[in-house]
Amino acid sequence: MSDLYRSAMSARLAKLPTTLPPLDSNEDEEEDENDSLGSLPGSGLGPPALQVFQPALRPRQAQKKREPNPAFSPLSAATYFDDAVQVTVPSRNLEFRVYYTPPKFADGTVMICHHGAGYSGLSFACFAKELTDMSRGECGVLAFDARRHGKTHAISGEEDQSLSVEVLVEDLLEIVKVIFPKPAESPSLLLIGHSMGGSVVVRCCPLLLEQKYRVAGVTVIDVVEGSAIEALPHMHSLLNARPDGFDSLEEAVEWHVTTKTIRNVHSARMSIPVTFVPTPSGSKSVHAFTWRTPLRSTAPYWTSWFAGLSSKFLAARTARLLVLAGTDRLDKELMIGQMQGKFQMIVIPNVGHMVQEDDPTKLAEIMIEFWKRNERVIVGVKKVGEA
């Protein structure tokens, strides 16, 4: 049944406007050298910005560029997902970059992962590998680059610059409908969203249920509405501490690791390059690479991402899980909801905001336990949120 189901999935995806080539390590290493990025600093948005990493230089050497450090060179994610695909979604005028490993069995579950602001689907690469290995193929993973992120781009004309939560939710809904066009034949789905992505999956959950998709649960990673809203007034001052760009992708990866924005160097070498682009000719930037999605440009949408998140999370008609990187203070709604047992909360120690990159093994263990509890029927065990 394993091979039959894989063949069926490949045949289904092959009917899409684009083909589904396996990840090519040479191609992706070459392309990924032109991409990379980070997430908003502050509670629920990212780690506080640290002092810009600059090597100590003498005055005479100030203009001399550093040689790229091979310890931080880009890595291919070829062995972390089965496929890397450009999926055309005409209704959104976008071609989304999708990374996908299907479940091996017809009754398996697909965990759909939405990244945070400024990152890409590759921030879930290490997690995807751990999860599929631990579940022995019962769970698949689908991650993608949101609009204005990574390798997602407009089909024609200029790319729509809107990153409002309504637009992002509609994008996710349409991606699911294109890849799994028949809800009755779709595998069950478990939604996972990091930071900004958490808000998107929570809001998309009821829409998928309306379309008759089976949603086993929704997981929000490291974002609490109250803390995020309180942090917004400080965002611009914190962003001032971030470099405008870097002279090499190795330097970009090194900065993220040195500042502990990402604590897992192996993951950073895969996820960060795709978040940068070569600096366009004629740009005033003195750096060879600049951010694909400058976070300051997303400021008009910050409030829309997080306002109302707690109430929508608690109202989701499926199992609910909140994973935090520290003992973040819950807002009133979540505190009451937790006391009433409406959701499960787990705090992972020794990680930063990029939970799925810093400790992908622990997060995979948590997600498999959550999946087993809420997707499989276990006599006498209530699902999370059940009275």
pLDDT tens across 53-71, in order? 434 334 434 446 778 999 9
Annotation says 353 is catalytic: yes
Residue 383: pLDDT over 90: no
pLDDT at 281: 83
Q: Check residues 239 and 119 and name the one with the higher pLDDT.
A: 119
Residue partners of 268: CB distance under 8 A and separation at least 6: 72, 253, 256, 257, 262, 357
pLDDT over 90 at 158, yes or no: no
**Token digits of residue 77:** 């994610």
Q: Which band of pLDDT confidence, cut at 50, 70 and 90, is reported for residue 187?
A: very high
> How large is the average pLDDT for residues 302-310?
96
User: What's the average model confidence in pLDDT over 216-239?
Assistant: 92
At 282, the pLDDT band (50, 70, 90 cuts) reads confident
What is the structure's pLDDT at 192? 98
Please, what is the average pLDDT of the chain?
A: 85
- pLDDT value of position 329: 76
Q: Is the pLDDT of residue 75 over 90?
A: yes
Residue 15's pLDDT is 42
Per-residue DSSP letter, 299: G
- Position 206 scores a pLDDT of 98
3-state SS string for 315-340: HCCCEEEEEECCCCCCCHHHHHHHHC
CA 214 to chain centroid, in Å, comes to: 21
- In this prediction, residue 328 carries a pLDDT of 64
* 157-180 average pLDDT score: 96
Task: Dump pLDDT digits (tens) for 250-266.
Answer: 999 999 999 999 999 99
Does residue 270 register a pLDDT over 60?
Answer: yes
Long-range contacts of 329-337 (CB under 8 A, 24+ apart): 329/224, 329/226, 329/227, 330/224, 330/226, 331/224, 331/225, 331/226, 331/227, 332/226, 333/225, 334/224, 334/225, 334/226, 334/310, 337/310
The answer to whether residue 387 scores a pLDDT higher than 50 is no
d(CA 195, CA 134): 25
Tokens of 121: 């689907």
pLDDT at 43: 40
Q: pLDDT at position 376, please?
A: 57
This prediction has a pTM of 0.84
**Active-site residue, selected from the candidate residues 39, 199, 353, 358:** 353
Structure tokens at 146: 């949101």
Average pLDDT on 223-230 reads 93
Closest CA to 359 of 131, 46, 145: 131
The pLDDT of residue 66: 79
Question: What is the pLDDT at residue 311?
Answer: 97
Lowest mean pLDDT, pick from 21-25, 245-249, 348-352 = 21-25
Percentage of the chain modeled with pLDDT above 70? 80
pLDDT at residue number 295: 92
**13-27, 95-109, 130-144, 187-201 — which is least confidently predicted?**
13-27
User: Domain locations in the chain?
Assistant: 2-51+65-375
How far apart, in whole angstroms, are the C-alpha atoms of residue 95 and residue 316? 29
H or E segment and range at residue 218: strand 215-221
Domain 2-51+65-375 has CATH 3.40.50.1820: yes
25 pLDDT exceeds 90?
no
Neighbours of 33 (CB within 10 A): 18
Task: Give the pLDDT mean for 220-240.
Answer: 91
Active-site residue, selected from the candidate residues 123, 186, 188, 195: 195
Which pLDDT does position 365 carry in this prediction? Answer: 98
Q: Residue 327: which pLDDT band, with cuts at 50, 70 and 90?
A: low
Tell me the per-residue pLDDT of 291-304, one tens digit each, with 9 for 90 and over: 999 999 999 999 99
**Between 24 and 227, the higher pLDDT residue:** 227
Judge whether 171 counts as a catalytic residue.
no
Reference 168, options 231, 110, 117, 119; nearest CA is 117
- 186 pLDDT more than 60: yes
Q: Which listed residue (222, 328, 358, 359) is catalytic? A: 222
Residue 231 and residue 48: Cα distance in Å, rounded?
10
Mean pLDDT across the stretch 77-89?
A: 96
